[in-house]
Structure 1
């Protein structure tokens, strides 16, 4: 039987096989079609990364990371990237989340797959390339042959096989010097084929408008908008400043009272979504004139989305669309929220006898209210009451009607538990929910680790997102720093909320990228209360430094001074291309070596000279600073190996890799 994917067979047989199966299943099983379309994309993208030396592997080689790798997005172009992302999203809904796939979505995925596969063959085929005029034949999807509907268990098993292969690509390409001759030859041919293809502009019609509409439809339905009435899409408005005086709003998001809560203006995928801003404003003007309520404006090109509540704020990029209740609350707040400057602080929570806490809260409130900022960074010395200060801020914003639901994020479960206890003690009416242990509870303040929240964002319930982009009105980041944003930036890109960062790092030691995250000038946080100020005010005591008299950290290591066992360990270390040295200078000790005796001596010194509590029977609360994560683990586990090389698994060149952390 004729297939739309015949052009793949000669040079991309595995991709061809999966694509044909997606095509055959489209008329029989939408779920199976979605799975095989996603499988085809994964095989195609991994083929490209394996064989194209111009593509750089990201921090991990699962399909989501590969798709978003900048070198791939540049090579594929935004149109193909958007199509591949849509297909992968639909596959995840079908298999990972076990959601019902609509027949139209499955057929659309196969059609989008045709364009992704066309790009693959046109770019990388070394023999016959498909002609730019090649078009998709939808009639093939309507044909029925002897195809059997694939059992869902079979699809799950195939998905598990694909997932199990994540990491193989990285291993294969990690040692580029030892690639086998056949792969090196193929990579050279593929690079030449890509160069030749890119030298000739493509006239292929990728039908970007359909991709945009499918993606926007999918995201809106996930946000709970049914889009099943004629007035939901292509809604006619009159009084437009054009010759006919008529316009058609792409999507109108209606409230239960029949008034428009929002509108969505869709632009062609290749265009910047912001090009729809003025058109959307004109539509909002006409809807407001007709219904007496100004809708919140959204504009999107399918993969970039912007929100513009032009009554209060300039446009800002978001990760998706608001749910109905979230939009209703946003519109209601235009008239219901009170002035923060005129709302009293609850000094029983913070500020009583500590005026710097009141100052910090008022500084954030001023930034939000007078300067219409949506982000703030609070720098406060450890022990000066960051958590109580932010609880008092939450109380102020709640009572003034600015926020309803708050998300508090920390990088460790212990810190989440500690913050949850503080909210229960000082603001019990907020009904704090610890999402690490209470996934289904209802409340107003939710506390979570970053990985837990990432999983909850990705999850779906009955085809709808658990949290809409507007679910949280305020997000608080405990110990805000650049690495948190890099590793978990999807959280901050998805939610449209006020953002408050807390840190004890001195303001002159915070890197400029952290300041830029909060839209602040370098070295100028929203408010700061330093250790020196806290000591001067009598709220904290100054630290006392104690010198630890260890020869190794002062003089380094000499091979001749080591025991025979230690010398064997020394000889086994990977010293790189240099000769094995006879000495390691003091400055290099922590950089290159661990020494068990050094760790033991430092711990013994701490136990003997550290702060004692409970009548001297126990060591008081103490922080031990390690070089990085590997060093911290070595100290914690008490390795029996006398000497061990310090391996850095967090290269700066991989921003999404876990950054070194300090264990306490």
Structure 2
């Protein structure tokens, strides 16, 4: 083929005529080893009012794998009007995301090969089409790069994933996590940490790791440890189900050593008495692999009773899984497990479209900001003399209760639910059980009609209240509408999978980054079946200031100081520290759900096994120390509390909350793309589809719905996105859509068309005035009313002389709509 003809070919033609044949000639199996047009992200969710759209998926032209579970290289194709290396930067970006050592770029004339390992002798090399490397060549370089020199280690990493034939395959980041872990084991690493954001499938990832190590024969007996019974049961019946008869759940009743996969609660194998330490019925070398789920909790502390299990099975490989590795001055996951072999963050999950984005509504209350001081000799509602000092946000709902504050918060929550969706699952995090109960009562009184429909509309779900705890399964079940609102203190902060939670309310002072990330994780899951694609955080206690902390979505950094003389973290900065006048949720519940309870959980506790399948231990209880006297808690019922500021913050495409005004942010983002009004107008006029520009700007972080509402309030009707940009960014006078439509009619625009064509265009203009530009750019609108009253879609298009004539007429209509004359 001559070069002139080749330059006429599309990118896909270059792939099919030149790149694919070259790969196949090099020995790559197109069915088993090559994935073309591989979309490896879901596309970031873009919120549009109550609707949502997806941004562009990241798509590699080719991903090459030695086996299905061992991706090696990515190829970026370009048409022949580009140079050989024009696609390399994009290829390298994909290679970095997919954790691949090799990247290729091609325009059909040959390949530019980039070796990220440096083992081939040169970083970038130009190759002819016939010089494309064979699978075994790249595999050898890969194995050398990852330290997999001996055949035994290679056999382990070559073990395939579990495949049930359903077509379900691990997502790209799960592949990365599994491969990095399996390779670490193959190299002999015995302490491994995986960090994956809540909702990204840690348990499924753990299953694939265990499956490959088990099937390869490298790990023959495996213990999976969790600290909540529901996690063990869900794991056994869901992700781990393929292990079948080789798997058992450890209980106190029997210790059967004939199985290979063991699932257990920490509490089911430990206790305060030596005979309760069931794990010692196994020899220290019985297990080859111990997987610790949510390893930031009880096992994180070096002196914990739960850590004793890991010390006992110290000869085994230990794999820790967590969304939030704990790194404080006296507790460290990294000190025990080492640096994470792989991290997949909340920010990355949202960017890829696998996790739900959020917006933050910050509400400031006058007493929170200004503080409150009693008058001389003032008593509370119980007649107690109130200590004379200034009380502020640290005190409220801990040692001083302003009852009107609770009502104000509950009213704001009810207002938001009424404005959006009164039936959306909502979790309200309170300071303690008493606060959660007062919040429940306030919400009941503010929502009498909802409560009359079902008294479970609002429920307190805390560790001390059996009726509320009994509703936990219904709350997390998407198919159960009630309870709708759960007030809690700690019980729902971690591990509870509320897939359809759309509103998280923070009326709790949160000092621990670990706890904050776990709480935010309650809202990040996506559920397409129940239209859960984003969530809102309503913050009354400035907790969301932690979003600005680099530690929120950065790599975990070890700050552990194991020397005995080191200072400890101040008590009020400990994760989830309880105020001195408050008893925590009951200890058993804390063991189940509360990251703040790790210290308590490490102490002898006769309730520790309440969640297991076993009977509680019998016999006399050891003497318990007398609890310290509770300090005074004041209750004030006659101090008004008002909202004095409210601010909405949106999550930008960079994963950070937008702190400036939405107008300033929009101005900055649009001018990055279109420096002047002339640039914007030129691009707008040339666009075949105006909606494509609107969607492109949405992907760049323009929040159309909010901007249209904001400017619409000023104009008294909804403006066009075109006017939003022209006004906010370039200071042009705006028009509403109806004003633009009326202006077209006054120009006698339809005069040149015949009756049917004129009726169609007039109806299109009405649609534009009602709904904007998007519907009129889709010819399928002719299949809807009122167009169906004028004739069939084929007849209506025929009135313009065919589809080209209809398309041209729509373009002319758009030109008239957006005329600047």
Give yes or no for TM over 0.5.
no
State the TM-score, normalized to the length of structure 2.
0.32
Structure 1 or 2, whichever has the larger Rg, is 2
Q: Which has the higher helix share?
A: 1
Which protein has greater RCO, CA pairs closer than 8 Å, 6+ apart? 2
| TM-score normalised by L of structure 1 | 0.38
